């Protein structure tokens, strides 16, 4: 990975940090995009301890604020440097109450989907600039939860009804559909950029311990996280599909990868993941892409 630059959103903890650590040990140059710069700096200190000589920087990117995304993207493009990999990893999960981003979007859809859509579109010139070194990649982290989701274009923001887990499932379905739609668009335009999706299985990450929950629910989530780490995947194992999508020569445009054991819930072996039939609806995906472009005012491909 020497000479390659990767940006990872949510790189201060969990799967994002583990992916950063593995890439750092392979001499990649890293951009740790974090909402909380202090947590990002703490993660960078850990990286320097565990991967001496790491070349990395922390940048502030709040995916729940399109202004924040735009400020960072403008600064990054001004450096005129290639970006070989954009790993759209950060996310929020199952907020108990409907909460809004600074732009007035439902928090899970606004962060998991719209923030990453805007970031990808705004950084597209930097990705294309990396084509001379091979095929740059956009890696989108989806979830096996997409299989239980239904995409309702008339209720993307949860205004009509809100359920914490349904909103999360819908956001992950939207992420996967956007990744697949992106792959079709880059193919149609012969773009050098690859769009690849991955999911971690069921991994013990910070997503399971929201600080907005009640004391009892936090306790339940803490116990659940511990059990997941024991019997399913820890965050290091959960990062393997991300790393595969970002670096493996066998990973293809439009591919979707995940662990191969226990119905894709765990395991260190990574391979093609199953896509629910409703996630393959190209007409609905095109409508979703258009809606995301309208909401973020970011147009690309």
Where in the sequence numbering do the catalytic residues fall? 168
Tokens 């880059």 label which residue? 186
Tokens read off for 239:
């990062």
**What are the residues whose beta carbons fall under 8 Å from the beta carbon of 283, sequence distance 6 or more?**
none
CB 103 within 8 A of CB 110: yes
Whole-angstrom Cα distance, residue 109 to residue 115? 9
Q: Cα 279 to the chain's mean position, in Å?
A: 17
3-class DSSP state of 141: strand
The two tokens of residue 254 are: 């439009």
C-alpha to C-alpha distance for 18 and 264, rounded to whole angstroms? 19
């Amino acid at each position: 990975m020497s000479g390659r630059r990767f940006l990872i959103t949510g790189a201060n903890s969990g799967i994002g940090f583990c992916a950063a650590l593995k890439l750092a040990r392979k001499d990649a140059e890293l951009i740790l995009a974090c909402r909380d710069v202090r947590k990002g700096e703490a993660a960078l200190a850990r990286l320097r301890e565990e991967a001496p000589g790491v070349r990395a920087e922390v940048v502030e990117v709040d995916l729940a604020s399109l202004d924040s995304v735009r400020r960072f993207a403008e600064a990054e493009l001004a450096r005129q440097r290639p970006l070989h990999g954009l790993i759209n990893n950060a996310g929020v999960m199952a907020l108990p109450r409907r909460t809004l981003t600074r732009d007035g979007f439902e928090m899970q859809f606004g962060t998991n989907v719209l923030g990453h859509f805007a970031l990808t579109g705004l950084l597209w010139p930097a990705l294309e600039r990396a084509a001379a070194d091979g095929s740059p990649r956009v890696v989108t982290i989806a979830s096996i939860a997409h299989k239980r989701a239904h995409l309702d274009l008339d209720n993307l923001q949860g205004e009509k009804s809100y359920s914490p887990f349904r909103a999360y499932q819908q956001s992950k379905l939207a992420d996967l559909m956007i990744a697949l739609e992106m792959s079709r668009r880059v193919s149609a335009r012969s773009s050098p950029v690859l769009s690849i999706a991955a999911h971690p299985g069921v991994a013990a990450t910070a997503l399971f311990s929201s600080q907005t929950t009640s004391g009892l629910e936090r306790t339940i989530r803490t116990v659940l996280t511990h059990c997941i780490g024991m019997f399913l995947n820890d965050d290091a194992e959960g990062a393997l599909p991300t790393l595969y999508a970002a670096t493996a020569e066998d990973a293809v445009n439009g591919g979707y990868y995940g662990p191969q054991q226990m119905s894709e819930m765990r395991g260190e072996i990574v391979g093609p993941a199953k896509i629910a039939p409703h996630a393959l609806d190209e007409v609905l995906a095109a409508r979703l892409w258009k809606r995301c472009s309208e909401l973020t005012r970011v147009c690309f491909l």
